[in-house]
Amino acid sequence: MLHHPASMRFRQPSGAGQLLLRLKSRHPEPHLCQVIYEDGGLQTAPMYICARSRHYLYYQAEIELTRPWECRYFFRCQVAGREPEYLFAGGNGRLGRPFLYRWTEADIVTVPEWIYDAVSYQIFPDRFYNGNPANDPPGAETWGSAPTRNNFFGGDLEGIQAKIPYLQFLGVNALWLNPIFAAPSNHRYNTSDYLAVDPALGDTDTLRRLVASLHAAGMHIILDGVFNHTGTDFFAFQDVLARGAASPYKDWYYFAGFPVVSEPRPNYACWWDIPSLPKLKASNPEVRDYLLHVAAYWLREAGTDGWRLDVPNEIEPPFWQEFSRQVRETNPQAYIVGEIWRDARFWLQNRYFDGVMNYLFRDLVLDFFARRRFPVSTLDILLGQLRLRYPEAANFAMLNLLGSHDTARVITAFQEGLAGVPGHSGSYAEAVTHLRPALILQFTYPGAPLIYYGDEVGLTGGPDPDCRRTMPWDPPSWDQNLLAFYRRLIALRQRLLPLRRGYFEPLFTDDQAGVYAYARRRAGERVIVIINTSDQPQTVTLAAGQPAITDGSFWEDGLSNRHFEVREGRLSLPLEANAGAVLYRI
């Protein structure tokens, strides 16, 4: 049985004459599926599997039309040795009315062009590098001391600028900075002044110089926008503290009465009941206009490239419509990414954001590679269902993270996960061994891989504040093998266009062997990724039925530099335990 519902999941325009079409098939075995469409006569486009479920296969085709804004089409599918099946708008059969889809500019989902090619790096400014000790906060501690929720180490914007050569050495090309605006804490999520860089980090000119240097190096930079709440030092809150009900800012927050009190319980709404984080009333037009001014100000005045938005689900959605409009009018290529920990369909289908922090991806990676909670076939199904939730363009704009300032370090998370699996110790060495195939997936998957500073050199740490340790700048202390692996994966991603812009095509899974194979395809070019997730070596065979596997073709594995020839319709690939290959045709 074939299905093609009239929904965003099954048809998405990506341009005036570009259309993505999907088909769902009940048959468990792969079909030869095609979409037949009208464009100066009948044209045929192949369809490729894009996702699986327990009972269905999902096929996808991307077609280009000389006639924009509408398309008539139907589907043809066939299993070898059987009669073909057809799907028309009137149902299954050989004859029927073709599907007709019309679209407008408003239906096209686009994201900033540069995010397709981004490898992102998150920096917690106080902990990255101290480039100017003269602006250190009072009592700044010695670099490398244990982090607490309250201490400072002196990292600053000049420190980031000084380490641009390191970032280039690593290969990243997009930075996300945790908040840099004036605030009394080391994390700066309690803003005192949205229009001033914190003096402990530098000033507006320092930021401008940093942005200019990053742009000159081919990098982009996004800032952290904390618009749900302020700190108690913010001018509006301070005015209400002083004048109570007579303050013109009394409706900027959610006060239950006056005078304002914070003990024993605050009489105002605050984030997670933390008195130092009073919640802004973004529905107030004055508050909205102020925050929209901030949103445009840094894009314009410093030349930054977008915003990462803190807890956006706690602000009324109409505000984000205005925010998105303001940002895109200021810089059409600005990137907007929301901190959404769960299902993000509402935010992405309605185009409030380009992408979100892909914590659901992180959850699946940890559950499979570290906690061993399900087989590799289930991983493939769950990843596919996650991709199907969102517009395809948004999948390429996700920040695919394995750790952040709000989670345990990825190596520590792997240690903790493996410690609960029989037969595993949870040692550092074991965690890194099992992390390697997870990194292959992260860097060959649709979306922008995100590295939390220091993960690439083996930095460990539990949840906040332990995950916010200072970046070690003594290379002998680094895990050089892990760093080299990150660099190779980043270089492969930057070198191979399908890894950045290609559609995802699952090939096969083998639960017994622990092998996962998929391709990234773009304009007839494919990169094939094979991951051995088991603790035993495996030999994987790709047969002629797999994409682009033809006799006499030669392939190179970008991870090992090994070369392979397809002989008698087969390519045999030996893989070590917890390893993989990234194959491209040569």
Domain tally, the chain: 4
Q: What is the pLDDT of residue 94?
A: 66
Domain match, 214 and 339 both: yes
Q: Is 431 helix (H, G, I), strand (E, B) or coil?
A: helix
Domain membership of residue 114 (yes or no) is: no
Q: What is the pLDDT of residue 523?
A: 87
Q: Please, which residues have CB within 8 angstroms of residue 190's CB and are 6 or more apart in sequence?
A: 183, 184, 229, 230, 231, 232, 233, 276, 277
Q: What is the pLDDT of residue 236?
A: 98
Domain match, 71 and 161 both: no
Q: Would you give the end-to-end CA distance of the chain in angstroms?
A: 39
Angle at 144 between CA 141 and CA 150, to 5 degrees: 45
Domain match, 251 and 262 both: yes
3 state SS for 251-265: HHECECCCCCCCCCC
Domain limit, last residue, from 495, 513, 533: 495
Q: Please, which residues have CB within 8 angstroms of residue 332's CB and are 6 or more apart in sequence?
A: none
Domain match, 331 and 448 both: yes
The residue segments making up the domain with residue 300 are: 123-227+282-495
* CA-wise closest residue to 439 among 478, 407, 411: 411
Domain membership of residue 372 (yes or no) is: yes
Looking at residue 535, what DSSP letter applies? S
Domain membership of residue 187 (yes or no) is: yes
Domain match, 103 and 133 both: no
Domain membership of residue 113 (yes or no) is: no
> Where would I find the H helices in 447-575?
480-495, 497-501
**Domain containing residue 530: CATH number:** 2.60.40.1180
Instruction: Find the radius of gyration of the CA atoms of the chain.
Output: 26
**Domain containing residue 165: CATH number:** 3.20.20.80
**Domain containing residue 265: CATH number:** 3.90.400.10
Q: What is the pLDDT of residue 28?
A: 72
* Rounded Cα–Cα distance for residues 503 and 519 (Å): 8
Domain membership of residue 431 (yes or no) is: yes
* N residues, the chain: 586
Q: Please, which residues have CB within 8 angstroms of residue 75's CB and are 6 or more apart in sequence?
A: 2, 4, 23, 33, 34, 35, 36, 47, 86, 87
Bridge partners (DSSP) listed for residue 550: none
Domain match, 21 and 85 both: yes
Which residue has 């009465």 as its token pair?
257
**Residue 426 has which token pair?**
């949870």
For residue 394, the one-letter residue type is A
* Rounded Cα–Cα distance for residues 189 and 178 (Å): 8
Domain match, 337 and 198 both: yes
Domain limit, last residue, from 480, 495, 510: 495
Interhelix angle 285-301/317-330, rounded to 10 degrees, is 30
H or E element that contains 388: helix 376-389
Domain limit, last residue, from 495, 527, 550: 495
* CA-wise closest residue to 223 among 192, 195, 252, 199: 195
Domain membership of residue 116 (yes or no) is: no
Instruction: Please list the pLDDT of the chain residue by residue as tens digits (586 residues).
Output: 899 999 999 999 999 999 999 999 987 777 899 999 999 999 999 999 999 999 999 999 999 999 999 999 999 999 877 889 999 997 766 678 999 999 999 999 999 999 999 999 999 999 999 999 999 999 999 999 999 999 999 999 999 999 999 999 999 999 999 999 999 999 999 999 999 999 999 999 999 999 999 999 999 999 999 999 999 999 999 999 999 999 999 999 999 999 999 999 999 999 999 999 999 999 999 999 999 999 999 999 999 999 999 999 999 999 999 999 999 999 999 999 999 999 999 999 999 999 999 999 999 999 999 999 999 999 999 999 999 999 999 999 999 999 999 999 999 999 999 999 999 999 999 999 999 999 999 999 999 999 999 999 999 999 999 999 999 999 999 999 999 999 999 999 999 999 999 999 999 999 999 999 999 999 889 999 999 999 999 999 998 777 778 888 999 999 999 999 999 889 999 999 999 999 999 9
Domain match, 180 and 298 both: yes
* Rounded Cα–Cα distance for residues 518 and 528 (Å): 6
Domain match, 476 and 521 both: no
Domain membership of residue 112 (yes or no) is: no
CA distances from 148 to 144, 212, 406, 464 (A): 12, 33, 14, 8
For residue 30, the one-letter residue type is P
Domain match, 130 and 69 both: no
Q: What is the pLDDT of residue 490?
A: 98
Q: What is the pLDDT of residue 92?
A: 64
Domain match, 365 and 327 both: yes
Domain match, 152 and 242 both: no
H or E element that contains 438: helix 428-444
CA distances from 499 to 217, 397, 490, 582 (A): 22, 13, 10, 10
pTM above 0.95, yes or no: yes
What amino acid positions are annotated as catalytic residues? 310, 339
Using CB atoms within 10 Å of the CB of residue 511, give its burial: 0 to 12 exposed, 13 to 18 middle, 19+ buried.
middle
Are 428 and 435 contacting, i.e. CB atoms less than 8 angstroms apart?
A: no
Domain membership of residue 297 (yes or no) is: yes
Q: What is the pLDDT of residue 366?
A: 98
